[in-house]
């Protein structure tokens, strides 16, 4: 099961992989840097989904649901069937 702490770690990793500072990512996503900092550290033990989606998009990521225990999304399987390369 993915925990809120896991999501915070994934957000921080996405920001690092995008080569962005907290200020840069927050500015691109239209959220306050303090909001991003709280989300990365779970300072409030809560996370705004709308802010998370904007931050991930600004870092170049999409949020996709994956059935528990499965590593691939339906999009991944369909792309494989079409013979497309998936990231």
pTM value is 0.74
Set out the domains of the chain in order of their start, with CATH numbers: 4-81 (1.10.260.40)
Q: Is 3 left (phi over 0), alpha (psi -120 to 50) or beta?
A: beta
- b/e 53-87 (16+ beta carbons within 10 angstroms → b): ebbbebbebeeeeeeeeeeeeeebeeeeeeeeeee
Q: Where on the phi/psi map is residue 68: left (φ > 0), alpha (ψ -120 to 50), or beta?
A: beta
pLDDT (0 to 100) of residue 85: 64
- Residue 35's CB is within 10 A of a number of other CB atoms, namely 19
Q: Which pLDDT value is given to residue 18?
A: 95
**What per-residue confidence (pLDDT) applies to 8?**
93
Q: Which pLDDT belongs to residue 45?
A: 79
Task: Give the residues of the chain that fall short of pLDDT 70.
Answer: 1, 66-67, 85-87
């Amino acid at each position: 099961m993915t925990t809120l702490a896991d999501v915070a770690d994934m957000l921080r990793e996405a920001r690092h992989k995008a080569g962005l500072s907290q200020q840069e990512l927050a500015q691109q996503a239209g959220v306050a840097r303090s909001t991003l900092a709280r989300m990365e550290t779970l300072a409030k033990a809560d996370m705004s989904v709308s802010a998370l989606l904007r931050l991930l998009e600004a870092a170049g990521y999409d949020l996709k649901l994956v059935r528990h225990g499965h590593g691939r999304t339906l999009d991944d399987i369909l792309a494989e069937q079409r013979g497309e390369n998936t990231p």
